[in-house]
Amino acid sequence: MNIVADVLSILLALAVAGAGFPKLLNKGSTPAQLREHLKVRAGLVPVIGLAEVAAAVGLITGVFWHPLGIAAAVGLVLVFVGAVGYHGRAGDYNDPKARGGAMGPIVLGLISAAAIVTLGLSL
């Protein structure tokens, strides 16, 4: 189970780091889309990015010390629950054009939950 937990943690870390850095640095189209479409407050966008980047660091470190990886994955679940709420409030799950992008937080939240389970079983 150790190998599965480590691979899952690393892949999840890469995904959330890639998503978090543009938000943290307020660069690219993602922060603007969050502010305009999802109505996320401008000051919250870098905080979300920081949480994602910190979780990525925690997941990578969690390969060596699983309790930190578990904590990072729990934090990600909370971030993605919030993202699902914002997408729901924006009506993205009812809009066929927006539904695909809105599924990302659901999928990543489930992967985060899987990381919690696999890391926990590897303790």
- The mean of the pLDDT values for the chain is 96
Structural domain count of the chain: 1
Residue 2 above 80 pLDDT?
yes
Q: What pLDDT was estimated at residue 69? A: 97
Global pTM value: 0.93
CA dist 100 and 41 (Å) reads 23
The answer to whether 99 and 48 have CB atoms below 8 angstroms apart is no
Q: What pLDDT was estimated at residue 123? A: 87
Q: What pLDDT was estimated at residue 1? A: 74
Percent of the chain residues topping a pLDDT of 70: 100
Q: If residue 108 lies in a helix (H) or strand (E), which one and from where to where?
A: helix 96-121
Residue 9 above 80 pLDDT?
yes
CA dist 114 and 28 (Å) reads 30
Residue 111 belongs to what domain range? 2-121
The answer for 6, left when phi > 0, alpha when psi is -120 to 50, beta otherwise, is: alpha
Q: What pLDDT was estimated at residue 19? A: 96
pLDDT for 81-107, tens place per residue? 999 999 999 999 999 999 999 999 999
